[in-house]
Amino acid sequence: MNCGEPDEASCQDALAEVWLFLDNECDPARREAVQKHLDGCGTCLEHFGIEEHLKALLQRKCSGEHAPTELKDRLRSSIREAVLSKAEITVEHGPEGTSVEVRTKKTAAE
């Protein structure tokens, strides 16, 4: 994918750097090259717009909020149940401490 301009960044290069561009993390020269490419390439500009919208959405939905305690507890419980349903656990207490062994349960096919 390329706009045909040899002095501009190729579409592939520009799109590979969209996240760095959005985060303002690329050096000024590279930022200018990507901006120039986006200004002149409708296909990349459209893709850039989608990426920009996605990043804004992620920031709005995930910025600093924490999952409710009830949700975390339900997730831990679900994960624990899923693991325990597929594992055999042996706990042994001895003079050197407690040891725990976890093995995958054998299925009827094994």
C-alpha–C-alpha distance, residues 75 and 68, integer Å: 11
Q: Which residues are 95's β-sheet partners?
A: none
The pLDDT of residue 6: 44
pTM for the full predicted model: 0.41
59-104 residue pLDDT tens: 777 766 677 888 888 988 888 887 777 778 788 898 988 887 877 7
The pLDDT of residue 7: 40
Q: Count the neighbouring beta carbons within 10 Å of the beta carbon of residue 13.
A: 16
Contact 105, 87 (CB under 8 A): yes
Q: Any idea where the domains of the chain sit in the sequence? A: 8-62, 69-104
Question: Hey, what are 79's tokens?
Answer: 């994960």
Q: Which residues are 102's β-sheet partners?
A: 89
C-alpha–C-alpha distance, residues 73 and 57, integer Å: 26
